Amino acid sequence: MHAASFFTGALAALAASSAIAAAPLSFDTSSPACTSLTPTAIGGAAPPPSVLSLRWLGTTNFELVYRNQVILLDTYYDRGPRNRPIGFTPSQVTRANAIYIGHGHFDHMSDAVSVAAQTRAPVIGAPTAIDKALSMGLPQGQAVTVRGAGETQRYNGFTVQAILAQHSTLAPNVLSAFQTAITAAIGAPTPDQSAAEAAILARGTFDPRVFTEGTIAYLFTFDNGFKLIYRNSAGPITDTERAAMARIGGTDVAIVAYIGQYAAERQIAATLPIVKLYNPRLYLPAHHDEIAGTFLDIGTEPMFMAIRDQMPGTKSLSPLYREPVCINVDNDFRTEIRNDVQNLRDDLRNLDLRNLRNLVH
Residue-range domain boundaries for the chain: 32-332
**What average pLDDT is seen over the chain?**
91
Question: Over the stretch 298-357, which tens digit does the pLDDT of each residue have?
Answer: 999 999 999 999 999 999 999 999 999 999 999 885 555 555 555 566 665 565 544 544
β-sheet bridge partners, residue 84? none
> Of 12 and 79, which is predicted with more confidence?
79
Question: Which amino acid belongs to residue 150?
Answer: G
What's the pTM value of the predicted model, to 2 decimals? 0.89
Q: What is the pLDDT of residues 149-176, one digit of tens each?
A: 999 999 999 999 999 999 999 889 999 9
Angle at 72 between CA 66 and CA 75, to 5 degrees: 165
Burial of 13 (0-12, 13-18, 19+ CB in 10 A): middle
- Sheet containing 282-286: give its strands across: 149-155, 158-164, 216-222, 227-231, 253-257, 282-286, 315-316
CA distance 264 to 125: 30
What integer pLDDT is reported at residue 331 of this predicted model?
A: 86
pLDDT digits (tens, 9 = 90+) for 230-268: 999 999 999 999 999 999 999 999 999 999 999 999 999
According to DSSP, the β-strands at 282-286 and 315-316 are parallel
What confidence category does residue 4 fall into, taking pLDDT thresholds of 50, 70 and 90?
very low
CATH class of 32-332: alpha beta
Rg of the chain, C-alpha, whole Å: 22
